[in-house]
Structure 1
Amino acid sequence: MCKTLVVLKVKSNCITYAPPTSSSFPSLKFLDVKVDYPEDDSVEKLFTCCPVLEDLSIDATIRDALILSFKVSAPELKRLRMTFFSDMIVGKDFLYDISINAPKLENLDIKHDNLSVYLFENLNSLVKGRVDLYYHYGQYWDDEVSERATVLREAFSNVKCLSISAHFVEEGCLPAFDHLTELKLVLYDCYHWDLLTELLEKSPNLESLVIEHKKDEECVKNYDETESYSKDVLYSENRWSTPPICLISHLKTITVRGFEGYPHVKKVAKYLLNNGKVLTKMTVYNDELYKELMLERGSRSCWVELV
């Protein structure tokens, strides 16, 4: 019932909360909750008693349910981070049902192990987004999953800064990112270069690009690396006969890290460097790739840095 508390951090293996009828924390602006196996809507009841809440972080491990319904409705909320992980065997039929209504939300950070059902309302103030979905769907991808992915992607269509680290992102149904100026794309061992192609095509005002590679054993199990890489690079090269607008007029910095010196990585890096007419700097983290790029330039003012 504290009336002056501004910051509250809670870490527990169990949270049960029955709020009073009046506001419990009228001054609380920062709430950080880490909980294992939340019961029913106990966590939801906790933060709904905070009328001036501006920063909410939820880190939860879920079990004993195939569907978790979770609602966030906060009129003053500016930053929301949600990390949900299930200790069950994640499969096609497991999902979270998440609803967010936050008209002043500026920063949304989602890290989930499964692509779930999302309902977004009043996200007109959103300027920065991060999506990390770390479950690999493989053969489970279908029309229903595709629809969920589309809803999630469209929620970030007006942001200026976006980070995507997910297997769920498929080429062909991305929205236009007309306001996007900073993009970070994390690709896995089963990555598709045509996704990068479409992101560049739909981000005409992009100024900063980071491409990062992470290893994923599930990808290695389900994909033939050589065939996938060759196919995707060839497809992207065919589509890139005309460079995306952002490469010609806006893109100034590019960072490529985490990749080995594969031929397909060199091809993509060379293409970006040769066609980046206003590039000022490309940073790479691979010595072999750095040597390949030393003689490539589309912009006289651009320089390549090895880190």
Structure 2
Amino acid sequence: MDFQGIGECIRGRDFISRLPDDILVQILSRLETKDAVKTCVLSSRWKNLWTFVYNLHFLDNRRNFVNFEIFENFVDRVLGLCQSKDIQDFCLCCRVVYDSEVSHVSQWLCFAVERNVRKLNIRVDAFDIGWRVARLPQSIFTCNTLVELYMLSDFVFDIPDSTSCFPSLKLLYINFTNPDYDLLQKLFHSCPVLEDLSIHGVLVSDEAVLTFDIMMPTLKRLTIRLYLDSGYFEGVSKHKFVVTASNLEYLVIQDYILVNFVVNGRHLLNEVSLDVGVDILLIKDYSQRLDELEVSHDEANQVMKLLFEVSRDEANRVMKLLRGVNYTKILSLTSNTMNSLNLGFDDNMPTFPNLIHLEMCIEARFGWKLLPHFLNSSSNLEVLILKMDCNQEYSSEKFVEFESESVPSCLRLHVKTIEIRNMTGGEDELEVISYMLKNSEVLEEFSVDIAAIAVSKENLRRQILMYPRVSVACEIKFL
């Protein structure tokens, strides 16, 4: 085929403009709105095409707009010329200072609702972070077309007690920095068909113990991510989240302040990911700061203990949370979680009758202590992934060897895949690898990822390949 000849034939022709208008509108709808508007200068045919776009994205930043007034005029002009009757995706991100600017935000959101918006993504930051910025228009709560709502900053809103709200809302994403407890409680009870809920934010110390009650029978996916505000969690961990959702399938919890989580009922959990405990990176950051300030060793220990010491009660909460999700099929546990479980462990590991896939971090000073208990409690386990983590220098726990009085039934009967990630070549790791290969009777694939910091990688590979394997079908792979 003469590609050069074809290139000469098409050179200089405008094939995009030959496309039908509806295809061009689809293309323009995938651009940021300011870029879609710019196409009006291409030709007379393109002059009004952008006015039919069904996705409107307004992002106020200093790269695009010098000040809010210019941004305001642009948004007003676009909405005034918009001819689409059904807005699929309306995104508004801006920063306000004055009351008049806040009122414009409400008007723009009302426009989206009037145009049958399906996805609403809003973030309105205030000049004063202590000021709750914008009020959501009442029409949002009764919008029959709204399916996805992303609130990326704090808002004021009034949910009526007697009116059915959010009749079609299936996904709700909340990001707060100054949460209003009563508003959130009303919100959690005002979504009759919600399937996906994400809560991201900061909780601060409060004299009152707050209980966030998430009771949603239709909920299938729940994500909760809680972060520290002032750098320590003293007085914050007394708050509580109670989850009652009989159809819950996916649960993700990232909690660095160790609040009290209660998961009620026997859920249809398919996958659970837990990152619960004091943030390792935050601890390291504070430790480095103290070193830079040349604080004495004793004083530094007192400061670290005051800020980050986990109480027995807080550690027990993590074990309690684990019991609440023990019917899951897939379970992922981070280093923070394993550390907290270790502190609260007292031979009280729950059973995991449905667990087939377990991914957990192993920290050399305590991780092996818990692994045998997980294996003995997971009789149907098929996939085991161990991620080595040697970065918790602050841990006061001593190294604990992997010990198992008898071979867990899952290794003898069900485990087909084992993966070791970030292996450094330590004796403890090699002992566990030898044990797994020697006792996993139906093992099909054993994968090892040797860390970059490991020395003599080739020697490690040869040593592992020489270990006896009880399963004749087992294949060893190096990643």
Q: Distance in 1 between matches of 2:368 and 2:235?
A: 29
Question: How far does the alpha carbon of each residue in 1:161-210 deviate from its partner, in whole angstroms, 9 at most, with x for none?
Answer: 11112121124221011211110112335433020111001111100001
Q: Distance in 1 between matches of 2:365 and 2:157?
A: 43
Q: Structure 1 residue 93: deviation in Å?
A: 4.3
* Residues 304/4 of structure 1: CA separation in 2 closer, same or farther (3 Å cut): same
Equivalent pairs counted in the alignment come to 295
1:1-307 to structure 2, matched below 5 A, reads 1-12=142-153, 14-21=154-161, 22-65=163-206, 67-91=209-233, 93-95=235-237, 96-135=239-278, 140-165=309-334, 166=337, 167-170=339-342, 171=345, 172-188=347-363, 190-216=365-391, 219-223=392-396, 228-229=398-399, 232-233=400-401, 236-237=402-403, 240-286=404-450, 287=457, 289-296=460-467, 297-307=469-479
TM-score (normalizing by structure 2): 0.58
1:141 positional shift: 4.8
Q: Aligned equivalents of 1:193 and 1:57: distance in 2?
A: 33
Shift of 1:254: 0.6
Instruction: Give the deviation of 1:92 after TM superposition.
Output: 5.6
Q: Deviations over 1:209-247 (max 9, x none)?
A: 01112354xx313437xxx33xx11xx33xx24211111
Alignment deviations for residues 230-268 of structure 1 (CA, whole Å, 9 cap, x no partner): xx11xx33xx24211111110000111123111111111
Secondary structure of the residue aligned to 1:301 is: coil
Deviation string 1:101-147 (CA, Å, 9 cap, x unpaired) is 11111111111003222232234322321111141699745542344
CA RMSD of aligned residues (A): 2.3
Q: Which moved more, 1:116-125 or 1:30-39?
A: 116-125
Contact 1:18 1:45 survives alignment (8 Å): no
Q: How far, CA to CA, are the matches of 1:146 and 1:92 in structure 2?
A: 14
Q: Give the CA deviation at 1:62.
A: 2.4
Instruction: Determine if contact 1:32/1:57 at 8 Å carries over to the other structure.
Output: yes
Cα separation, partners in 2 of 1:9 and 1:125, compared to 1, 3 Å? same
Q: Secondary structure at the match of 1:118?
A: strand
SS of the residue corresponding to residue 279 of structure 1 reads coil
Give the fraction of aligned pairs with identical amino acids, expressed as a percent: 28
Output the amino acid matched with 1:119: V
Higher Rg: 2
Please list every run of 5 or more consecutive structure 1 residues that lacks an aligned counterpart in the other structure: none
Q: How does the TM-score come out when normalised to structure 1?
A: 0.88
Q: Which runs of 5+ in 2 are unaligned?
A: 1-141, 281-303, 451-456
